[in-house]
Structure 1
Amino acid sequence: MSTPQTPPPARPHQADLHVAGVDASGERVVVFRLAHGVDPVRALRGLGWVSEGVRDIDTVTDRGHELTLVYAVRPAAAGDAPAAEVAVPTDPSLVRAPGEDVHPYQRAAAYGLVHSDRGVLLTQLSETTNAAGRWTLPGGGIDAGESPLQALHREVWEESGQDIEDAEVLDIHTQHWIGRAPSGRLEDFHAVRIVFTALCPRPTDPVVYDVGGSTAAVRWVDPADLGRYRITRSFAPHLEAWLRP
């Protein structure tokens, strides 16, 4: 008789994600649920709308935990490129056991591009992650019942001990791949990252309070020195544009 395998640990609750498009008159012209693995901008384009940037994030908790990503949109014109199909990558080092199940997991998270007179706040990923040693923006998963803004304030405090103000939605990026979670669970992972810009008016020497979590170190970095840091692939291509005056 074969020995039963221990089931992989379950992931925490995640919000039900939706997308809304608002036209120039302020009317919501399109609303849909964001399916697993789908990029909201490509989905809007497939429905005949072109995104002109993130407008807001709506949070509803009285009938479940719902987050709606609100985009400014315009009707697609003849010269606009169609929505492109994108293949789902697999981690190059991934080794799958015969018959191993792949678990879909969609994770909404909030991150902050935090400015102060001491620089920009960066956190270094710990050995509990799959990108140990790389640097990223402070942030993390949105807990059940939280708004993205509440999650941002909590995560920045846990990872740096800093209080922030004037947070505004800057951008939303999605990423979809197949790989292993730190627990060893094989996942079809859909990351939805809501990025804010925020101000820290009274910066202090940063301290990691979430000891044993995903953050190994934290520091203020002069924007001119960002090129010396190994930034995660999630944010490295975008930082220059985000920091441009």
Structure 2
Amino acid sequence: MEHPTKVVLLDLDGTLTKSDSGILSSAIRTYKKLGRPVPTDEELSTFVGPPLSESFTKHGLADVSDEAVRLYREAYTTPTFDDPLNPGGEKIPGMFLNEVYDGIPEALKQLRERGYFLALATCKPEPQARLICERFHLTELMDDLFGASLDNTRIHKAQVIRYGFDRIHFDEERGDRAVMVGDRWTDVDGGHYTGVKSIGCRWGFAAPGELEEHGADMIIDTTDELPDAVDRFFATF
């Protein structure tokens, strides 16, 4: 493939997939394993997006955050939960308690047909993100995949974006351009920290007003708006 000049960075949780069931189930199991009070539903809802260590630290597990992350990853990556699509069958890892949003496959196909380079940019560890994308048939709809590292040296969205740009030899001075598409403040801020503007997605897990407060450059309401929104973005910014 030719060097990508128009790059669409795509968040995973809350943007391509509705992943809260697996994330929250794994987090709840972690608190119970540690014998700690489980946060409220409102507090748990904030776990989708930010790095795990920060979420556990913020919600009562600062003293055991490393162990909490280990227990979470155990539940999230090994067969732990009943499969709602196959009751009574084999258990599945938390990361497969997940589903692709309606309209996303069609939107990604349209974007690629229009010549955009599509790359996942997620704060989820890259090996986990790769397995999720393979299971839900997203891998073949994108050109590359960038995720966090397992050793916690790359956990923030800005770090993931810089890592991805290094991988594809992104060069703004040469005329390369990019947009970050995501549903949370982490996507908007991560993009801005790296000089990348953003398209916010209301179908995800953002709190009311969150995308506006953090300065999303464009906001869309439904998945079918995504292809034309990307076109408008590259024509405008």
Give the TM-score band, short-chain normalised.
under 0.3
| TM-score w.r.t. length of structure 1 | 0.26
Q: Greater strand percent: which structure?
A: 1
| TM-score w.r.t. length of structure 2 | 0.27
Q: Greater helix percent: which structure?
A: 2
Larger radius of gyration: 1
